[in-house]
Amino acid sequence: MTKQEFLSLTQSKIVILDGATGSNLQKRGMAAGVCPECWMVDNKEKVVELQREFLEAGTDILFAPTFTANRIKLEEYGQTDRIVEFNRELIKISKEAIRLYREKSGDQRNIYIAADMTMTGEQVYPVGKLAFEDLVEVYKEQAKYLLLEGVDLFVVETMMSLQECRAALLAIKELCDLPVMVSMTYTETGRTFFGTDPKTAMITLQSLGADAVGVNCSTGPEKMHTIIKDMKKYAYVPVMAKPNAGIPKLVDGHTVFPMEAEEFALEMEGLVKEGASIIGGCCGSTPKHIKRMADRVKNFIPQPLNEKHIRALTTERTTTTIDLSGRFMIIGERINPTGKTKLQEQLRQGDVSLVSKMAVEQSELGADILDLNLGMNGIDEKEMMLLSMHEVLRVTDIPLCIDSSHIDVIEAALRLYPGRALINSISLEKEKFEKLLPIAKKYGAMFILLPLSDQGLPKDMEEKKLIIQTILNQALKLGLTKEDIIVDGLVNTVGANKTAALEALETIRYCKEELGIATVVGLSNISFGLPERQFINSTFLAFAIQAGLTMAIANPSQDLLMNTAFAADLLLGKEDAAERYIQRVTARPMQLTVGDEKQKTGNIKQKALKQDSDLAKDKTGNEVFHAVIKGNKRDIISLVEQELNNNKAPEAIIEEMLIPAINEVGSLFDRQIYFLPQLIAGAETMKKAIDYLEPMLQKGEQTKSPGTVIIATVAGDIHDIGKNLVALMLKNYGYQIIDLGKDVAAETIISTAKEKEADIIALSALMTTTMVEMKRVVSLVRESGLKSKVIIGGAVITESYALEIGADGYSSDAQSAVNLVKKLLDPSNHNE
């Protein structure tokens, strides 16, 4: 199947996918906890029968049951040596289902097989320890075996991490040119566990080359409307929706999905109206659900795709939209070692703390994008670029402009960047022109078009326009669009060329009015070699914004410059400009002085920064606190040592700094300001500090543990990301944690709880097929007379389910688990 055939199919009709595999096979005899691939290969006829029923229901694209047949998942069952067999045999099962369906029905319509891939369960660096390139290889290995048997397209589904989606998509694209659908799963907050929203996912993945982007699993269809609507607004590829048949419930000891086929079909019609054109069912959806759905939407025509692409950059959790006629934007220029001796010294030592500080300061001062340039002698620029990129993305959440004169450095950064970045820059110089344009296309990046050639600066405006048009035409041929490009106005110093400003302004007007392309300038170039440069820069900036300039590479700590930009937007009547201007100047009033008292605006800004920093320190205590808040594992030990050297007792560091910090991290998480990566980073930073202090505590009087917690993922379930984080957080609060791991039998949990006299038994499950094990554990606790309280959690678990099975509590995340344990072990609650 070609990409064009896939696009034609999705624009000609509402494409019908299949329904659930796991929950339906469980009804046909697959026991919880077995290796799904082993069972399916041993019970081929049952899988064929299920898939044939989906085809009879109207399925156009059949998902081969290769969902978890990757090396990391199979290792959980000791079955990695059968990876080739599983992937090939499971594709054969789908082919056999199609053959038997056609033989029985006589239907010769086009039916396509999608090779199905999903998350590995391991977290990619820097959240986890798995290197991005190793993850790409895991997906590439599985994809190679799937291609050996022949498939029509790929689907990467039930993903939680945008970075893991990128790894899978890149792996497939580097092996073949088949269409790829990518689908993430979202919580009821409208974000993934890693904090990615639908808009950011759509923009990032379609730019990277996904042929369809969507949502699956997550919830029932009635709660997916906003997600589909948000995706469709920015989509120029088809939108996919594959929800569960409602939220699962426990009935007579079995997990059931309450949404009947007719209700499911009605809700799916609503998703089609919101813009979904590829639809199916996930957990709990049967062939009957798919049949009712297909019948209900058979006369619908897919909504047209957006022809105009959006100008936007992303991180893993945010989108920065670039509006040609919108507010003026700043690319912060400070992270550049040129002329910065201290930064150069640190970089040579492999220290990126000043890079981190510059990133935070520029972000707080209003930079919309951060330019990242590590070009200097005496370092491995590629290594330093990647280290700095991870650091900047840890401490800020604004997109990056990757800036290097070396093509391999740019590509290495784009490959690991967990979103959509900006390249600075691509010129008509032969090597950059020929190599960087394909790289921009491959990684879905935007780029700054620099109107230079191998002959140097253009001799006049006509040559500048010709260079711009040449690069633009080649970009369009490669599949890039005008919205992917920002033209550099190529500002020269007015001290050497009196028409330099006029030429730059003409370029800006030409790009906006004739080409419809965004523009950027390196602002400080205009005043090079002249005194009191800030006045020239700010005046030129006002002229340039009036001419249509989109953004500038500048230092956001310069008040005069920034205030001029806000004022220019105000005078041009841009949306919300008045509010932004008032907020800017009242929050940071600028002091202009003359004569002997003259002071540069940059110094004023630094003074304001110091005042803000002192205020923050008053509120939060010290640098140890801030390190936990920012997840700064690199510096936490040295900061703790400083406190010890200042005669701070280990117990006081924990009670006065670490505990308040992790409480604040939890509060930020609860308020959806932080997401899973920041929560993990904060918890691991605190753990590192506590592990360092623990031997010192043992020398003195021991602090009594507030309770003993047995924690486990229930039998049949091999997922442990959430469970591990809960264990880590509880340990940080001083609880004695006994982690039994994953796929733990109920009897083992009970016997350990008796032996250890556990106060709490914490259970986790991620699959609907294993959540019934939680009820079994609760029943055994009651039968055995244990006084342990049982709490449960996991992606498929709800508070109503906890009440239904008689658990003592439910938590939706790690921080709420800590709060729940505190509440349950509070003596004042014991007699309630």
User: Binding site: which residues?
Assistant: 217, 282-283
What letter does residue 322 receive in the DSSP assignment?
-
Do residues 126 and 390 make contact, with C-beta atoms less than 8 angstroms apart?
A: yes
CA angle 94/160/799 to nearest 5° reads 105
Do residues 786 and 750 make contact, with C-beta atoms less than 8 angstroms apart?
A: yes
Q: Which region, left, alpha or beta, applies to residue 79 given φ > 0 means left and ψ of -120 to 50 means alpha?
A: alpha
For residues 201 and 207, what is the distance between their CA atoms, to the nearest angstrom? 10
Residue 29: CB atoms within 10 Å: 9
What letter does residue 510 receive in the DSSP assignment?
I
Do residues 538 and 567 make contact, with C-beta atoms less than 8 angstroms apart?
A: no
Closest CA to 276 of 548, 17, 560: 17
For residues 435 and 442, what is the distance between their CA atoms, to the nearest angstrom? 11
Residue 375: CB atoms within 10 Å: 16
What letter does residue 12 receive in the DSSP assignment?
H
Q: Hey, what amino acid is at 243?
A: P
Do residues 674 and 661 make contact, with C-beta atoms less than 8 angstroms apart?
A: no
Q: Which residues pair with 780 in a beta bridge?
A: none
Closest CA to 678 of 628, 610, 641, 723: 628
Alpha-carbon distances, residue 47 vs 43, 66, 113 (angstroms): 7, 12, 14
State the residue for tokens 């590479």.
Answer: 553
Q: Hey, what amino acid is at 458?
A: P
Q: SS3 of 220, please?
A: coil
Question: Which residues participate in the annotated binding site for Zn(2+)?
Answer: 217, 282-283
Alpha-carbon distances, residue 614 vs 383, 529, 590, 619, 620 (angstroms): 34, 37, 19, 9, 10
Joined together, the tokens standing for residue 783 give 């039968």
Do residues 444 and 208 make contact, with C-beta atoms less than 8 angstroms apart?
A: yes
Cβ-based burial of 109 (10 A; exposed 0-12, middle 13-18, buried ≥19): exposed
Cβ-based burial of 357 (10 A; exposed 0-12, middle 13-18, buried ≥19): middle
Residue 95: CB atoms within 10 Å: 17
For residues 286 and 43, what is the distance between their CA atoms, to the nearest angstrom? 19
What letter does residue 190 receive in the DSSP assignment?
S
Helices (H), 150-257: 162-173, 198-208, 225-234
Q: SS3 of 235, please?
A: coil
Q: Which residues pair with 447 in a beta bridge?
A: 423, 485
For residues 764 and 793, what is the distance between their CA atoms, to the nearest angstrom? 5
CA angle 528/532/534 to nearest 5° reads 75
Do residues 524 and 533 make contact, with C-beta atoms less than 8 angstroms apart?
A: yes
Cβ-based burial of 30 (10 A; exposed 0-12, middle 13-18, buried ≥19): buried
For residues 582 and 382, what is the distance between their CA atoms, to the nearest angstrom? 42
For residues 528 and 783, what is the distance between their CA atoms, to the nearest angstrom? 82
First vs last Cα of the chain: how many Å apart?
64
Do residues 17 and 216 make contact, with C-beta atoms less than 8 angstroms apart?
A: no
